[in-house]
Chains A and B, each alone.
Chain A
């Protein structure tokens, strides 16, 4: 049994059929990436998993438990923590306050403090700026903050929605290195990306989504060599 199982999920925005039967699995300890073009339904898939969008059909199971009965805020407590697209840090709160908000569902103050230290070890930059208002951080720092904050919920699976979006190329590599580091520390990651090149380099497995349907799935290595992926997403012709 996989840690996260998405089974034949159909999601709608009004009449728009955004997900047309998506199935995917994430095993414990993996980095799985979901790649696809703009508007393919990547964010919708993540939102459906975390309960913000409700599927009309199909199910999402975490460690065997069906999540469809739970509202979004309770799903966080079940062990799914999402870094939304465009980061979404609390711009007027400080870095520290943002991190504390990440641990909102927990009440083990001591353990939270050590976890914050852990986040600071991964992102030393945040430690330097812990008293700074988040809105004045650079784009890359905000992304780090959003990821650090999501980790503080101690998720079983960390859901990342296009962490490289809007970042300068030199920073993108750093972000992917950190994702790998987080994963090596033991967090399972479902990574949504348009930047297929980088995502496939760090992921174990990958899925390709097109207009709401999974069209391809394989090991990351194999996908990198796949002709269709190379043409459509890696810019190789």
Chain B
């Protein structure tokens, strides 16, 4: 995955001059603007931009909009691979059934209107979450909609050098994730140090080649030092994180869930902003001509009251405490059972967003201490 199809190669105006090596490169901060400009010629470019006091991923047309100094974003970049609302098929209400799937239309008219995209500046935790989705959403069948987008998205990662508030990525061991990125950036004084991780990444470099220079030995050394020094500067807020599934073996009936349930609104915000959550609901929509329509999948949340409701009115998780418990068990017990990876990358977004101030670090610490 991540490799661009042959066809794209031709679309790209690539100078097929001698291939550069895969050794690390340097991109001057001042060259970010021309770099982005060049990318926008052939790709839709997304990256972190400011939204009042916070940041969101959004489309970038000017390098100056890009805020690579961001701490975190309100929604994670998952929205580009699993959009909050996605058309699955279009249909007309005729009795003979006319359906068209955007996955089957011509190459040009596909989900992306033929355009590939690049996301610039994804932090390690979010990279880990993308890899997580690669795994969890292909357990039985691949999710064809996500796969379609995933194959069309280029990822430029960005190493974090200072911890953001509420996060615990050192404990989740996602702090140093780079897998999934095609290029990985590290801020180094007035430049970005660039690791080329995939062939796709190399294509991007080739295309924007004139902007990059080779990194010196000293620069490589500095970056290595910077990255390893994070072992000291990032706190291990949830020691023995990997033991959580085991600890959850007990405590299912614990009173912790009622306690949390008293505070929780069941609003689902924590799961919507979570980079590893992926659940969806499906609805048919008919347009006002009362003939054309589409089947749309929307982000859903196990925290919402209808999530486990079946026809006839039986609800398998009827109360807020039962749903809070499910979220935690899904991430820290069910997902590890299924794919041997815990469904939390430590980004802290759930804590940052919870209107009831439910704090993931506190919650997990309680579990670790057997306080359920």
B is bound to A: no
Residues of B within 8 A of A (CB): none
Residues of A within 8 A of B (CB): none
